[in-house]
Amino acid sequence: MRKYIWPVLAVLVIATLLVVVAVQHQALQAAHGQAERRTAALGQGLQAWQQALARCQEEVGQRVPAQGTGGTGGPVPEFIPLGGRP
Per-residue model confidence (pLDDT) at position 85: 59
Higher-confidence residue of 3 and 64: namely 3
Per-residue model confidence (pLDDT) at position 2: 75
Higher-confidence residue of 13 and 70: namely 13
Distance between CA atoms of 71 and 26, rounded to whole angstroms? 63
pLDDT digits (tens, 9 = 90+) for 3-58: 889 999 999 999 999 999 999 999 999 999 999 999 999 999 999 999 999 999 88
- CA atoms within a 13 Å half-sphere pointing along the CA-CB vector of 40: 6
Per-residue model confidence (pLDDT) at position 41: 94
Contact 10, 17 (CB under 8 A): no
Helix-strand-coil percent breakdown of the chain, rounded to 5? 70, 0, 30
pTM metric for this prediction: 0.48
Average confidence (pLDDT) over 58-81: 63
